[in-house]
Amino acid sequence: MYDVLKAIGEKFRLPGELYSYEVITMGNINSTYKVTYTKPDGSLKSYLFQKVNTHVFKSPVEIMENIDRVTSHIRDKYPEQITLHYHHTDDGLNYYICGDSAFWRVVNYVDSVTFNASEDLSIIEATGKAFGEFQNRLSDLDGAVLHETIPDFHNTKKRLDTLFEHVSDDPCGRAADAKKEIEYLASVREKAGELSVMFANGEIPKRVTHNDTKCNNVLFDRVTKEPIVVIDLDTIMPGMSMYDFADAVRFIANTAVEDEPDTSKVFFDTAKFRAFANGFIGATKDALESVEIENLVKATFSITIELVSRFLDDYITGDKYFRCTYPKHNLVRTRCQLQLAKDIERKWDELSWIVRDVADNV
Ligand code: GN1
Ligand code: MG
């Protein structure tokens, strides 16, 4: 790997000598390395090198164009803030396609801390604020200039339709392993798809959204514990604001990890939901329409069902999309997220009440 990284660093004209590298295991899709250089003056400087998964991201050049638009928009509006800066090659491109068609990019490393989970409600509230403000910063960027890099990425109805097609094709003979899960999905299929149908019909505003709002996509200052910058801009596209909220709480308010095998540990924590809602709604309430606030709970349920369908679809079709570290990993993820969706369903009224209370008081 050393030689590959060294060659990539040369393409991006990084000054100095490669000093060390480490693999960053966070993320289910791309391969990421933290690479440190000794600068000519002897000091150390780190970068993130990323090999983009082109099976998932079929139009990586368009992604890099989106990232360029978004980061320069934010940089122009808020020049004093830390933004992501992608390095360019001699050809003036912010990516490099290596001989074997590997797609590489290099971004500045921001010294920071991230949270995969947090019991600290103030960190959760700050995460909500960071994602809400991120959306605000992009509210005057015309979504039409962005490529839809993964068409129908958060089209829940379509995700479910695809799953049920694959369940009936059953290409790997695995559908029988998930009989109960498939039955449950069939029972909530219509309800979970409703918002995506309303969005397609123009009944929900189209905004520039992040689309992958896991809390570990916010970098925090190690000392002040204030958010520094939102990362992972691969899926920025026009979308529903409430799905950014929803995907974030799906992840942060889970009492267990996303792929917890023991589903008796999986609950949806309403105090964490409230903390995130405080931050997110507080930051966006002037921009959000009532249809967006009123449907935050339904969005939370829907995106959780969507991810259940995506994990299960990947299991049924042979584990080609999400990185799996053991056999049946996708089935374990499916069951965990399904348990979470059921708990959200159970707590629906309480969560709706929390949203109303927060919206009235922030
Ligand atoms: C993938 O690799 P990561 O963590 O950035 C996926 C998200 C899922 C998430 C589930 C492009 O994100 O949509 O919510 O896994 N990203 C893509 O952990 O499919
Ligand atoms: Mg991502």
Q: What is the mean pLDDT of residues 194-207?
A: 97
pLDDT of residue 195: 98
Give the pTM. Answer: 0.94
The closest residue, in CA terms, to atom 15 on ligand 1 is 28
Distance CA 266, CA 167 (A): 26
The closest residue, in CA terms, to atom 18 on ligand 1 is 28
* Residue 325 per-residue DSSP state: S
The closest residue, in CA terms, to atom 17 on ligand 1 is 29
Distance CA 362, CA 183 (A): 40
Where does ligand 1 bind, in terms of residues with CB under 6 Å? Answer: 27-29, 56, 212, 214, 232, 235, 258, 307
Q: What is the mean pLDDT of residues 250-276?
A: 98
What spacing in Å lies between the alpha carbon of 60 and ligand 2's midpoint? 13
Contact 95, 63 (CB under 8 A): no
pLDDT of residue 341: 98
Structural tokens at position 184: 């449950």
Check pLDDT > 90 for residue 221.
yes
pLDDT of residue 83: 85
Confidence class of residue 143 from pLDDT cuts 50, 70 and 90?
A: confident
Contact 266, 260 (CB under 8 A): yes
What spacing in Å lies between the alpha carbon of 75 and ligand 1's midpoint? 26
Q: What is the mean pLDDT of residues 224-236?
A: 94
Q: Residue with structure tokens 């320069």?
A: 72
pLDDT of residue 27: 82
What spacing in Å lies between the alpha carbon of 29 and ligand 1's midpoint? 7
Check pLDDT > 80 for residue 176.
yes
- Ligand 1 test: best mutation among 212, 232, 305, most atoms within 8 Å of CB? 212
Q: What is the mean pLDDT of residues 257-282?
A: 98
Percent of the chain clearing pLDDT 90 (strictly above): 93
Structural tokens at position 92: 């003036």
* Residue 268 per-residue DSSP state: B
Structural tokens at position 35: 């690479």
Distance, CA of 342 to chain centre: 22
Contact 149, 66 (CB under 8 A): yes
pLDDT of residue 186: 98
Confidence class of residue 171 from pLDDT cuts 50, 70 and 90?
A: very high
Q: What is the mean pLDDT of residues 174-184?
A: 98
Check pLDDT > 90 for residue 136.
yes
Structural tokens at position 356: 């109303």
Confidence class of residue 142 from pLDDT cuts 50, 70 and 90?
A: confident
What spacing in Å lies between the alpha carbon of 255 and ligand 1's midpoint? 19
Average pLDDT value for the chain: 95
What spacing in Å lies between the alpha carbon of 12 and ligand 2's midpoint? 23
Cα three-residue angle 170-212-316, rounded to 5 degrees: 10
Q: Which residue has the higher pLDDT, 145 or 161?
A: 161
pLDDT of residue 144: 85
Q: What φ, ψ does residue 167 adopt, rounded to 5°?
A: -65, -40
Distance CA 281, CA 266 (A): 25
pLDDT of residue 214: 95
Distance CA 181, CA 188 (A): 11
pLDDT of residue 331: 98
Cα three-residue angle 333-334-337, rounded to 5 degrees: 80
The residues, any chain, with a CB within 8 Å of residue 227's CB and separated by 6 or more, are 126, 127, 129, 130, 218, 219, 220, 221
Q: What is the mean pLDDT of residues 142-148?
A: 89
Tell me the pLDDT tens digit for each residue of 301-346. 999 999 999 999 999 999 999 999 999 999 999 999 999 999 999 9
What spacing in Å lies between the alpha carbon of 28 and ligand 1's midpoint? 6
Percent of the chain clearing pLDDT 70 (strictly above): 100
Q: What is the mean pLDDT of residues 158-172?
A: 98
Check pLDDT > 90 for residue 82.
no
| H-state helical runs in the chain | 2-11, 60-77, 121-137, 156-169, 179-200, 241-252, 270-284, 290-294, 296-316, 329-346, 348-361
Check pLDDT > 80 for residue 100.
no
Distance CA 68, CA 80 (A): 18
pLDDT of residue 210: 96
- Ligand 1 test: best mutation among 29, 210, 254, most atoms within 8 Å of CB? 29
Confidence class of residue 26 from pLDDT cuts 50, 70 and 90?
A: confident
The lowest-confidence range among 187-191, 230-234, 245-249 is 230-234
The residues, any chain, with a CB within 8 Å of residue 127's CB and separated by 6 or more, are 115, 118, 215, 218, 227, 248, 252, 276, 279
pLDDT of residue 101: 78
